[in-house]
Amino acid sequence: MMKKRILGAAAAIIFTAGMTACGNTDSSAKAETGPKGKTNGTSETAPAEKKAKAKSEKTFGAEADGEAMFAAETEAAADTAAGSADEPRDTGREVADPVEPSPDVTATDDIAPAPEAGQLTAGEWKDNDNWGFLENLVSSGSIAFPFGLDPTVRTAVTVNNEAGEAVVNADVRLKSADGSVLWSAVTNKNGVAYLFGRDAAAIEVESGGASESYPIEGAVPVDEQTPASADASREMTVTFNGSGSLYTNTEIMFIVDTTGSMGDEMLFLQNEFTAITEAVGTENVKYSVNFYRDEGDDYVTRLNPFTTDIADVQRKLNNEYAAGGGDMPEAVAEALDGCLTNGEWSEDSVKLAFLIFDAPPHDNKEEMLKTAVKTASEKGIRLVPVVSSNTDRNTELFARALAIETGGTYVFLTDDSGIGGSHLEPIIGSYSVEKLYDVIIRVINEYRQ
C-alpha cells in the first residue's frame, strides 16, 4: 500500500514567509510547431534518484520563485503548529500496491523504465471536503487563484425534503439583493450544491415544477470598503417542499491536451480507455473524447459528440499523437469553451468531464474561462482535472478552482511510477497514491447515481 504524507496548512504558512514572490466539430487547421521542453516518454532520471531528489526539493509556492525547503524541517514545524500525528491520516481507502520495476531491468543513470499502460500513479484531493484547510491557505496568503477564478467565497447548500431525504438534481441559484443570479448549480446525489459569489442575499431551489426561496441570514453586501471576511463562506441546509430524481444516464467526457509534452498521458488513455469502459460498464453510459493544442499548431480544438460506440471512440484516440505546443500556455480556454459552454450535453444525465493537461490557459482568456466554468456548474457538469508532469503552481491552482466551482475533484499524477518528468507536489493535506486507472474508475463510480 502506497501512502504519502503531504504537509498541512502550517507548512503552507511557513512557505509564505519564505516566498518572494467536449461535443462539436474540428477547428481550422494550423501549422505545427515543436513540443514544450518536457520529456515525451521515459524519464531521463532513474526512479530512485528522481524520488530522492523530489523528497529533498519539495516546494510550496510558485515554481518561478525557486524557493526549496527541506522536507524534514518543514514537516517538524508543521506538526508542531498543527498538532498533527506522526502518521498520515488514514482515509480508510484501499490503494494500489507500489509499482515494482521489472526484475529483468536494473535502473541506472542511463536506463529508465519504459512507459507502460496502467503504470501512471495519481493522487486525489477535494477542496470542497477540506474547506477549512483551503481557507487557512487563502487567509494566510499562501495561495491565490489565477485566471480570474475566485472560489474562495462559497455557499454550500444541502437540500432535503420534508422527510429529511436528499433532493437530487435540483437547480439551486445564489441571488443578490436585487434578485440577479450570482451562481447556479445542480445538487449532487447527496443533495449538495456549491455556489460562489459575494453580496449574496438568498438561495432559490427549483425541482419537479416546485420552487422556493430562502433568505441568507446575516448577509452583508461587499464593496471595496468591506473586508472579504464580512461575506465569508457559509453552509446552509434547507427543507424543500418538493422532490428530485436520480439520473440513470451518465455522460463521460475526456478533454485531452495533445501537445508534444503529453505523450505518456496519451499512451495511457489509448491503452486503457476500453478497459475503463468495461470496468465502468456501458449500459446507459455515453463517452466523448476531445483534443486540443494551441494557436499555430495543426489544430486548436478537435471536438467529438457523445456516443455509445466504444470502438469508434477508441479509433479517435488511436489516431491522435502528441505534437505541437512549444510554449507553456495552451488552448485550454478554447477547449473548455467548446466542450462546456457550447458542448451538447443531455439534461437528464450525470455529467463528468476529465481534463487531462499539463499547461495553463493563456492570460487573456479570463472571461471565456469564467463563462465556461459557470456554464458547467449550471448544467451540473463535474470537472475532474488531471494534472500531469512538469506543470507549475498556477496550473495546479487553476485546476483546483475548476474542481471546486463545479463540484468535481482534483487529480494529479505523482512521481511514484517513475515515468515521465517530475510531478509538482500540490499544496494539500495527506493523500493516498493509486494507479491512475483505478482513480478514474473510482471517481466515475462515486459520481454515478
Q: Are residues 231 and 197 in the same domain?
A: yes
| pLDDT tens digits for range 321-334 | 999 987 789 999 99
CB 126 within 8 A of CB 188: no
Rounded-to-integer distance, Cα 100 and Cα 337, Å? 41
Round to whole Å and give the CA distance between 82 and 133.
11
pTM of the model: 0.77
Are residues 251 and 234 both part of a single domain?
no
Residues 399 and 283 in one domain: yes
Q: What is the pLDDT of residues 11-45, one digit of tens each?
A: 443 344 444 334 444 444 443 433 344 433 333 33
Q: Are 235 and 298 in the same domain?
A: no
Separation of first and last alpha carbons in the chain: 29
Number of domains present in the structure of the chain: 2
Asked whether residue 414 falls in the same domain as residue 436, the answer is yes
| Same domain? 291 vs 276 | yes
- Specify the residue for cell string 507502460: 116
Strand, helix or coil at 290? strand
- Of 239, 257, 272, the residue at which a domain comes to its end is 239
For residue 258, give its domain range. 1-151+246-449
Which is it for strands 349-357 and 381-387: parallel, antiparallel or unpaired?
Answer: parallel
What is the CATH classification number for the domain harbouring 97? 3.40.50.410
Query: Based on the domain organization, do 209 and 291 belong to the same domain?
Result: no
Q: Give alpha helix (H) positions in 281-331.
A: 310-318
pLDDT tens for 52-74 read 333 333 333 333 343 343 343 33
Question: Which domain CATH number covers 177?
Answer: 2.60.40.10
Per-residue pLDDT for 430 more than 60?
yes
Residue 255 sits in the same domain as residue 175: no
With 90 as the cut, is the pLDDT of residue 383 above it? yes
Residue 434's H or E segment, with its range, is: strand 434-435
Q: Do 443 and 354 belong to one domain? A: yes
Q: Helix, strand or coil for residue 149?
A: coil
Looking at the structure, tell me whether residues 126 and 88 fall in a common domain. yes
Residue 231's pLDDT is what?
65
Stretch (H or E) spanning 411: strand 410-413
Q: Is 290 exposed, middle or buried (0-12, 13-18, 19+ CB in 10 A)?
A: buried
- What are 173's strand-pairing partners? 184, 204
Strands (E), 145-284: 154-160, 171-176, 181-186, 192-196, 200-207, 210-215, 234-239, 249-257
Q: Can you tell me which residue has the cell 515515468?
A: 419
Q: Which amino acid is at 147?
A: F
Give the model's pLDDT for residue 272: 97
Alpha-carbon distances, residue 327 vs 37, 41, 118, 220, 366 (angstroms): 8, 19, 28, 44, 19
Helices (H), ranges, 183-324: 263-280, 310-318
Do 143 and 10 lie in one domain? The reply is: yes
At 369 the pLDDT is 98
Q: Are residues 115 and 125 in the same domain?
A: yes
DSSP string computed for 348-369? SEEEEEEEEESSPBPGGGHHHH
Residue 421: per-residue pLDDT: 85
Lowest mean pLDDT among 53-62, 137-146, 357-366, 435-444: 53-62
Task: Find how far residue 330's CA is from the centre of its chain.
Answer: 17
Contact 439, 146 (CB under 8 A): no
